[in-house]
Structure 1
Amino acid sequence: MPDSSSYVGATADAYDAVAVLYTEFVAGILDDAALDRATLAAFAELVRASGNPAAVEVGCGPGHMTAHLRDLGLDAFGLDIAPAMIDIARGAHPEIRFDLSSMDAVAVPDASLGGVLSWYSLIHTPPAELRPYLEEFHRVLAPGGLLLLGFFAADGPDPVPFDHRVAPAYRWSLDALAARVTEAGFTEVERSLREPAENERHRQGRLLLRRT
């Protein structure tokens, strides 16, 4: 696991400290989020249509989104750097595989997955450290595989640090993040931007990309 002195270790420690509270916070988070459910459903449909339903959620937290992907017909597993989160995920969903692992070390062979979901998991990565994660997503996806990113949106060309409630994080404009991901070997398929819900502070961005 990452050195606790690194930003990765600090992020893991921060999520471990609030694991139970975070799990309670995200329980039922999709119930009143029709647009998010539609985005995830479209992602799952495209992954299934590729003929390879195998998928990973990187930064899975307590496993609720990984379980949702399973409900949508994907053979999904999850991984996270926070041991307490993985313990909760395994307890809540014993039928699903959950790995204690970093997003740049997905334990699958090259080109073996049809989908990668990164739902607010790249937000804690300093911009200068983003590339290894994108390269790992490219490695594990089969040609034509789909990558879905969910993140907090910004307006300008540069990532914007903000006071995330758990750990330091960054907001990205759709254009800026799409440019980074396409440089790593992906082609953009679709993008969306929605206004914040009642309990949200920022607009929410979604990028769907295909491994080229």
Structure 2
Amino acid sequence: MSDLDTAFLTATRTSYDAMAADYASRFPDAMGGVPLDRALVSAFAELARAHSPAPVADLGSGPGHVTALLHELGVPVFGVDLSPRMVALARRAHPRLRFHVGTMTRLDLPDAALGGIAALFSIIHVPDDHLPTAFAEFHRVLRPGAPVLLSFQTTDTEDRVHLTERFGHEIALDYYWRTPEKVADLLVKAGLAPYARVVREPGEDEKFAKAFVLVRKPAS
């Protein structure tokens, strides 16, 4: 990829490095105490366990809360995040788990290596023209039959929001709000098979609805 293509990766890495500690403190619970969200992660974990010992990759793992939850659910799992400071926080908080610096658009993994992929609230910073690249990587590194669980904020209309400040830190970060239909369509075009779609209405302290899309790599 050219420097122009990777500009969003640099902006995302720099922004999350700046606010890593405050972000981890602000969101100490992987699922925010929402039973439905945890149930969907549990369902994903059950599907992924069928492919053990092949590991699950938690992409955009941040401070490691979801990685730790999947570990508790009996899934062999490791985390990948673009931000070195997030990875350092995750390693400190969960020293028995593995965390690596990397990007979902170019995974440092062999073909058919994974028993599942979780990417919770991490595609929200990936521009539309780079999502097909990421989803093609998902297809490449998954074992046949292995599941993918995505979650992201969603609205009735697609939008891009640019933030220059969060938690008192200067950032330069784009957020992309998408419909679950659009994301599911791109996943199907990447060769992944639909399994389920769920949209949860905003909670008491939430501004946006949350979409969950579950797909699988076809078994053959």
Alignment gaps of 5+ in structure 1: none
TM-score relative to the length of structure 1: 0.92
Q: Residue in 2 aligned with 1:176?
A: 182
1:202 is displaced (CA, Å) by 0.5
CA 1:53–1:39 in 2, change beyond 3 Å: closer, same or farther? farther
Q: Does 1:209 align with 2:215?
A: yes
- The CA deviation at 1:7 is 1.0
Answer yes or no: is the 8 Å Cα contact 1:47–1:146 preserved in 2.
yes
For residues 129-187 of structure 1, the C-alpha deviation after alignment (integer angstroms, 9 at most, x for no partner) is 1111111111110011100000011224xx32135656211111111111011000111
> Does residue 120 of structure 2 align to residue 114 of structure 1?
no
Aligned to 2:104: 103
Letter in 2 for 1:97: R
TM-score, structure 2 length as denominator? 0.89
The aligned residue for residue 201 of structure 2 is 195
Is 1:141–2:142 an aligned residue pair? yes
1:186 aligns with 2:187: no
Q: Any residues of structure 2 matched to 1:17-166 within 5 Å, and which?
A: 17-30=18-31, 32-156=33-157, 159-163=158-162, 165=166
Instruction: State the superposition RMSD in angstroms.
Output: 1.8
Which residue identity is paired with 2:215? Answer: L
Do the aligned partners of 2:45 and 2:70 also contact (CA within 8 Å) in 1?
yes
- Correspondence 1:1-12 to 2 at 5 A: 6-12=7-13
Once the 2 structures are TM-superposed, how far is the Cα of residue 29 of structure 1 from its aligned partner?
Answer: 4.5
SS of structure 1 residue aligned to 2:106: coil
Shift, 1:32, TM fit:
2.0
Range that drifts further, 79-88 or 3-12 = 3-12
Deviates more, 1:200-209 or 1:165-174: 165-174
Checking the alignment, whether the CA contact within 8 Å between 2:59 and 2:79 is kept in structure 1 is: yes
CA-to-aligned-CA distance 1:34-68 (integer Å, 9 cap, x gap) = 01100000000011134555100011101111111
- Structure 1 residue 105: Cα displacement: 2.8
Contact 2:105 2:130 in 1 (8 A): no
Number of aligned residues: 209
Q: What whole-Å deviation, never above 9, does each CA across 1:91-134 have from its counterpart, x for those lacking one? A: 11111111111112323221011100010111101101111111
Q: Percent identity?
A: 37
